[in-house]
Structure 1
Amino acid sequence: MRILLWHVHGSWTTAFVQGQHTYLVPVTPDRGPDGLGRAVTFDWPGSVVEVPPEQLRDAGADVLVLQRPREFELARQWLGRRPGRDVPTVYLEHNAPGGPVPDTRHPAADRPDLTIVHVTHFNRLFWDCGTTPTTVIEHGIVDPGPLWTGTLERAAVVVNEPLRRGRTTGTDLLGRFCEAAPLDVFGMRTERVAERLGLPRERCRAQDLPQAALHRALAERRVYLHPVRWTSLGLSLLEAMHLGMPVVALATTEVAEAVPPGAGVVSNRPDVLCDALRGFLADPGAARETGRAARAAALARYGLPRFLDDWDRLLKEVTR
């Protein structure tokens, strides 16, 4: 099957393109948001093929996987076909609703010619999709392996653009958490976090690392902290669990489903989470056993084979 999708979410796409299909990815000369082409910092197989917009009409796409509202018009212009009507189409929704929850209307609502795919059951519950058919295909992770050593008595946090996203990603909570454990914040545009929050540099450090280096850096930290209030289920959380890291997380959105008892501490009480951070830093043996449970849970629920099988079934259904 020849699947057309835009390069929007590098981590998710890395898992998706591990299947047995040909993946057509638009590429433009400037490699801008509508034509990023193949990933640079992720390892994608040769079955991911870059296609310039002017060649898409002849590329033979069997199905579209759209991820942003503007891709409806891009597909119509570049393929000369209407998504859902002239070519089978699914709309992949990565995010929790960002509007007046729980009444946020989905941009693909009331489109019976499409299928909306949510990445969590929480998201499906909260988005108003009207009459559009919906389903859930939970995340799959390319297993980085049980790399955790926990040699550094620090907590790892992964968040992109924490200053811009603010309360959404729990950036305002970092000051309280760094009193319990020194933090290393990884992600895009994190370099001024400590300065802007007025935190001591030794208690809150920031780094932006490529994916391969990121996994090894995370695994050196004793515990993974997930302070996010309101996003979809972060892939970095699931990757940390695959690494064998114990998890300390806010009990928001899908986290309570993803982190079962024994795999970490999940609560909406910051004092409980601070105590958990102190506990894991003080007891590497408990951190190790909790991390093993986290890895087992992540492999069972978010393993790559299940993810790819779920997508194969859906794609066969929509292209019949």
Structure 2
Amino acid sequence: MRILLWHVHGSWTTAFVQGPHEYLVPVLPGRPADGRGRARTWDWPPSVREVSPGAVRRAFDAGEIDVVVLQRPHEVDLVEEWTGRRVGLDVPAVYLEHSTPAGPAAETRHPVADLDVVRSGHVPIVHVTAFNALMWDTGRAQTYVIDHGVPDPGVLATGERPHLALVVNEPVRRWRVAGTDVLLRIARDVPMEVYGMGTEALAPHLAAQSDVGAASAERLYDHPQSVLHERLAGARAYLHPFRWTSLGLSLLEAMAVGLPVLALPVTAAHEAVPPHAGFLSANPAELVAVALRWLADPGEAAAIGKAARDHVLTRYPLDRFLDRWNDLLHRDVTPC
């Protein structure tokens, strides 16, 4: 199949494009959000091809696009603006929801739930976790859950640095959602390495609140994903302080690297982190206590990290993820 999708979520797309299809990714001058093109920090195969809006229209005119994977509400209008086609009516489409509701947790209506093509079942909605499917109000839409798939990075964990590591983008702007206050509470007692976009804004907060003198914020987002994985692998354990997120792929990737993980017991974390693979607690003091124990006992940390890796590759295997998507695209997306 030839699949049109925008580059919205780099880690998710990295898994998705490992399938057997050809993937057309819009690109615009300056690579803004509606035209980022191919990723430059993730490893995407040659089957991912950049296309301009004009090339997208020509591909539609030639009947060369089989389905559109939508990920943001306004992409419905972008498809019509660029091609003159209506998703679900002139071209098969599916809507992928990455996130938890941003409004009231149990009462937020999904922004595409009331589109005629969604209400009629022509454009199904796919959630990346069962928790998301439970929390979003999608009305009469046909809905599916396809869990994440995690490409195996290999056994990388060394744990030579007695630090916690974490990846978070824009931690100051996303303060409570990202659990930045929890991060800073733990950083008062535990050496911390923070990676991601916008972490430079966090650096003064870390410096002011850390009593251990080893907290740091580093921007590795412009390096290949493999470089970030190697950096994480040298830390003793991984912290995921997010209060309200679908299921952070950075958490699953850290587990695949072989790190033991600490997280809050929210959203889908209990599925991703069973007791033998890490530690969940809503009490930052308990997270600190376990982190300090792991930092003092690299053997225990390594054993739990191995269990975390085994679990995530069994619970979120890439081949099952790709098979589920292939089944959906071939059997459950309404032809036009």
**Same fold? TM cut 0.5:** yes
Residues of 2 paired with 1:150 and 1:56: CA distance?
46
Q: Which residue of 2 aligns with 1:32?
A: 32
Provide the rounded CA distance (Å) in 2 between the counterparts of 1:203 and 1:150.
Answer: 16
Please give the TM-score of this superposition, normalised by the length of structure 1: 0.97
Residue 89 of structure 1 corresponds to 93
Q: Is the 8 A contact 2:188 2:209 kept in 1?
A: no
Are 1:203 and 2:217 counterparts?
no
Aligned residue number for residue 69 of structure 1 = 73
Shift of 1:102: 0.7
**Corresponding residue SS for 1:206:** strand
Q: How many residues align?
A: 320
Residue-by-residue CA offset, 1:97-154 (whole Å, 9 max, x unaligned): 0011210000111422211010011100000000111111111112111100100000
Aligned to 1:306: 320
Is contact 1:108–1:132 with CA below 8 Å preserved after alignment?
no
How far is the alpha carbon of 1:84 from its aligned partner?
Answer: 1.0
1:1-320 correspondence to structure 2 within 5 Å: 1-59=1-59, 60-110=64-114, 111=118, 112-196=121-205, 198-200=208-210, 202-209=213-220, 210=223, 211-317=225-331, 318=333
2:122–2:334 CA contact under 8 A, matched in 1: no
- Deviation string 1:271-291 (CA, Å, 9 cap, x unpaired) is 221111011101111101100
* TM-fit CA distance, 1:256: 0.7
Question: In 2, are the aligned partners of 1:180 and 1:277 still within 8 Å (CA)?
Answer: no
> Secondary structure at 1:174's aligned position in 2?
helix
In structure 1, distance between residues paired with 2:270 and 2:289: 18
Contact 2:193 2:218 survives alignment (8 Å): yes
Task: Give the secondary-structure state (helix, strand or coil) at the position aligned to 1:166.
Answer: coil
Deviation at 1:57?
Answer: 2.1
RMSD: 1.2
Name whichever of 247-256 and 188-197 sits farther off: 188-197
3-state SS in 2 of match to 1:164: coil
Aligned identity (percent) is 57
Q: Displacement, 1:194?
A: 3.2
User: SS where residue 24 of structure 2 aligns?
Assistant: strand
Quote the Cα distance in structure 2 between the aligned partners of 1:282 and 1:81: 60
The answer (yes or no) to whether the contact 1:245–1:295 under 8 Å persists in 2 is yes
For residue 155 of structure 2, what is the amino acid of its counterpart? P
The answer (yes or no) to whether the contact 2:123–2:334 under 8 Å persists in 1 is no
Amino acid at match of 1:90: V
SS at 1:229's partner residue?
coil
Moved more, 66-75 or 270-279: 270-279
Deviation at 1:179, TM superposition (A): 2.8
Cα deviation digits, residues 184-238 of structure 1 (max 9, x gap): 0011110231313522483320111122211011000000011110111000000
Stretch of structure 1 that moved more, 289-298 or 205-214: 205-214
Provide the rounded CA distance (Å) in 2 between the counterparts of 1:186 and 1:277. 18
Divergent runs of 4+, >6 A: none
Q: TM-score with structure 2 length normalisation?
A: 0.93
**C-alpha deviation, 1:92, in angstroms:** 0.5
- Identify which range, 106-115 or 39-48, moves more after superposition: 106-115
Distance 2:108 2:144 in 1: 18
Q: CA deviation at 1:175?
A: 2.4
8 Å Cα contact 2:164-2:235 kept in structure 1: yes
Q: Is the 8 A contact 1:63 1:319 kept in 2?
A: no
Q: Larger deviation: 237-246 or 202-211? A: 202-211
Q: Given residue 15 of structure 1, which amino acid in structure 2 is its aligned partner? A: A
Residue deviations 1:282-314 (CA, integer Å, cap 9, x gap): 111110110011001000011111110110000
Shift of 1:319: 5.1
Residues of 1 paired with 2:298 and 2:271: CA distance? 25
* 1:23 aligned partner, one-letter code: Y
Q: Give the match's secondary structure for 2:69.
A: strand
